[in-house]
Amino acid sequence: MLVTYMNGAGNDFMVMDARGKSLDLPALAVKFCGLTGADGFMATDVSDKADFRLHFYNSDGTRGEMCGNGSRCICRFAYDNNIAGKEMVVETDAGLVYGWRVDENRYRVKLNNPSILDLHRKGDIAYAELGCPGVPHAVMEYEGDLWDNADKLKETFRTLRYDSAFPKGANVNFFQMMGDSEIRILTFERGVEDYTLACGTGTASVAAVLWKQGRLPGGVLSAHNRGGLLTVTVGGENGTITSLLLEGPTEVCQIYDIEG
Query: What are the catalytic residues?
Result: 67, 199
78 with 252: CB under 8 angstroms? Answer: no
- The Cα-based distances of 127 to 20, 136, 163, 168, 213 in angstroms read 38, 7, 12, 11, 13
Helices marked H in the chain: 25-36, 68-80, 150-161, 200-212
Q: Which amino acid is located at 51 in the chain? A: D
Q: Using CA atoms of 80, 85, 89, 91 in order, give the dihedral in degrees to the nearest 10.
A: -40
Provide the β-strand partners of residue 258. none
Strand partners, 40: 13, 58
Instruction: Quote the Cα angle for 189-190-196, to 5°.
Output: 20
* Ordered DSSP codes for 160-196: HHT-TTSTT--EEEEEEEEETTEEEEEEEETTTTEEE
Distance CA(60)–CA(68), nearest Å, equals 18
DSSP strand pairing (171-179 vs 134-141):
parallel
Establish whether the linkage from the previous residue to 26 is cis, with ω within 30° of 0.
Answer: no
